[in-house]
Structure 1
């Protein structure tokens, strides 16, 4: 267990280069199993979930080298192997290895994945989709065993635009005979990134970025693949929110503003001035944020659930009453209890949080239950009077690279606490 100590009251100011995207790199690392050769990834974030993915790849027989955000993977000698429970429980995206294992080797085994405690997050859509493609699945407690003599392309309709299920189907479809049509697909930029990598590896794909994606086939390429991971839109939004709640001014470089459009609209509605360029965002915060009467999370391109915690921190200090509705993960609003311990005035009823902004928050000992709530509590603590401790910082390190040093470079008074 680890924590982060924060002395609040400092405005964040300065420039920063955003890390590579956590949500983009993890499915692409699973996809590297499909390429029986070398892939060189650049701009790879050095975060805990990437390290866990590399352990899985090495367990499967791939060779890896990771240094200074460059990652070299040779999967030519990879083979099927069971992903142990300890590795699977460390991150949600471990389940994404099932699709490429089936596609390349016809079998795979793992345990139901872990990750953040933000709701049920079932993998039913993953398993149903794989079954539709011809996989035979059996479950022994938390253990999932999958095999397929032949995967066959078909039409699969997702009842909800699940990012993970869309990625799983894209990966498995690369081993199917005939076209696979994914209806009701997720549209997130990370889906487009995965499709871009799969095309470089030999897939024929149409429709990425829409609700209907078709995988026509897969012809493995023999050449080395070089692939750059895009900037992390959620990390960028998190640092912008930390600047906004402290009344600061920062320039975040290395992010496409179009990937954050709904979040940018939210910042502007709360009184922030944002200037955009093709590869960055400059934010200047007002003396006090303006309340947002209503904001709800939904799948892309709507406001992202991963930004909900940061905006709830902003709403706690905004002038007026705000309402946040969480429509993706039912447990994300539990962070409101921690904000109330700092003096916030938030009432939660069902999937809605009603927040009457207060003028000041005070320091407290807080518990970050997951990756995004931890980042949101850190933002709130940066704006609070006095000293705060946010425990559970190991969750934050799953997705944010070198956060303590970045915050220091922007003028924050922060330090890591290790037990």
Structure 2
């Protein structure tokens, strides 16, 4: 138990969930469905959920999920999925958030999880706690009336059929699980999380249809799926509907192209609204006119190295690297100091050293670069990494990269 002023932090008790969750919802605008409440209750890890109290009143919340996240090289690394963070408007600027972040990171370290990841409602908040923007997502509004697709050979051999989302959930989850090791930032599903893909409260449809699903099959096996909604629209020139894409996953390029062709060809629809996709997603190279897709880029996953040595040892490096890092970490001082990282595509080792430093940076920059989607060279150009040995910056920047862009597949 910890205190900050008049605030007391305790582990959440199951019987307090509704009050705790109501405060969270109020902090995020005050609107949520009964379906969301029930799903959140079912996946909440109560022993990892904190309630900040002022007397008998719950005035703050923070939680964590016990995830495993893919890192460069394909390893699944224990990762705290930071979630449910809120402070009541009546108790702002009293150190409540800082006290919860302090307690939480201490707990994560005690559990032996070398990483933490979150999605930030306000990006400016979490940098001071050592989180760096490590994954990005693209969204788009594709004019399917004017944009065409250049399809690879074999698409005609893929069967795409409608299916009730719940009926094919197991097959879809098998596709997702096969993809998890292939892209940094992906999360292995914990029991119960498969239900998130079926969440479909009417209050969030915005006038669109209920959730729909189509699966792709090759030689009788499910090799991909897509979940989406459709919203009809009519103008003076006729139909003007929109397809709202929720999820798309495929085991091979031909299946993926077949699913995009299916989405482009749904009757009476003229726009495909794409919400959250990897920045190197295949659709960008299938379309005839990128400008008419109106792509947009946004930050998404923020990564925090809780144990620098264990985290840097857990991933591989796409080029040989031998570099000494001078790491600053005021919030988690056990990370501060010099670390020698040696590694290549087969593995890595990172340990304390007294050798002269080659690069100087904070744990925030390490978090941003950790999954391979943010270049150390770019961070150095912004003044956030200092090169102390000539050549070390390029060496490390190349080694930290990833051949595929990291991506956080869903929120939590």
TM-score, structure 1 length as denominator? Answer: 0.27
Larger proportion of strand: 2
More helix by share: 1
Larger Rg: 2
Instruction: Report 1 or 2 for greater relative contact order, CA contacts < 8 Å, sequence distance ≥ 6.
Output: 1
TM-score (norm 2): 0.28
